[in-house]
Amino acid sequence: MSEATVAAVVPRTRQRTAEARRKAFLSTVATHSVAIALTACFVLPLFFVVTTSLMSQQQALTHDLIPHPFQWRNYTDIFSEEPIFRYGWNTFVYAGLATFGVIVSSVPVAYALSVIKWRGQRLVFLLVISTMMLPSQVTIVPLFLFFRNLGWIGSLKPLIVPAFLGDAFSIFLLRQFFLTIPSDLIDAARVDGANQFQIMWHVVVKVAKPAIAAVGLFQFLYCWNDFFGPLIYSSNNDSIWTLSVGLQHFTTIHRGVLWNQQMAASVVFMLPVIILFLIAQKAFIEGVTLTGVKG
Q: Site residues for other proteins, window 206-265 (CB under 8 A)?
A: 221, 224-225, 227-228, 231-232, 243-244, 247-248, 251-252, 255-256, 259, 262-263, 265
- Secondary structure of residue 127 in the 3-state scheme: helix
Q: Which runs of E-coded beta strand occur in 127-212?
A: none
The answer to whether 135 contacts other proteins (rule: CB under 8 A) is yes
Rounded Cα gap, residues 242 and 225, in angstroms: 9
Are 77 and 55 in contact by the 8 Å Cβ rule? The answer is no
Amino acid letter at 35?
A
The answer to whether 92 contacts other proteins (rule: CB under 8 A) is no
Binds other proteins by CB under 8 A, chosen from 15, 57, 139, 239? 139
Stretch that binds other proteins, among 10-18, 70-78, 102-110, 178-186 (CB under 8 A): 102-110
Q: How far is the CB of 284 from other proteins (least distance, A)?
A: 8
Rounded Cα gap, residues 164 and 201, in angstroms: 18
The answer to whether 126 contacts other proteins (rule: CB under 8 A) is no
Pick the closer one to other proteins by CB: 84 or 109. 109
The answer to whether 138 contacts other proteins (rule: CB under 8 A) is yes
Rounded Cα gap, residues 271 and 16, in angstroms: 52
The answer to whether 29 contacts other proteins (rule: CB under 8 A) is no
The residue among 49, 65, 72 whose CA lies nearest residue 262 is 49
Pick the closer one to other proteins by CB: 8 or 46. 46
Q: How far is the CB of 17 from other proteins (least distance, A)?
A: 18
Pick the closer one to other proteins by CB: 141 or 188. 141
Rounded Cα gap, residues 134 and 169, in angstroms: 12
Pick the closer one to other proteins by CB: 182 or 256. 256
The tally of CA atoms less than 13 A away on the side-chain side of residue 133 is 5
Pick the closer one to other proteins by CB: 79 or 144. 144
Binds other proteins by CB under 8 A, chosen from 32, 68, 73, 206? 32
Pick the closer one to other proteins by CB: 13 or 137. 137
Binds other proteins by CB under 8 A, chosen from 166, 173, 174, 200? 166
Q: What is the DSSP letter of 155?
A: S
* Residues constituting the chain: 295
The answer to whether 38 contacts other proteins (rule: CB under 8 A) is yes
Rounded Cα gap, residues 2 and 5, in angstroms: 6
Are 169 and 295 in contact by the 8 Å Cβ rule? The answer is no
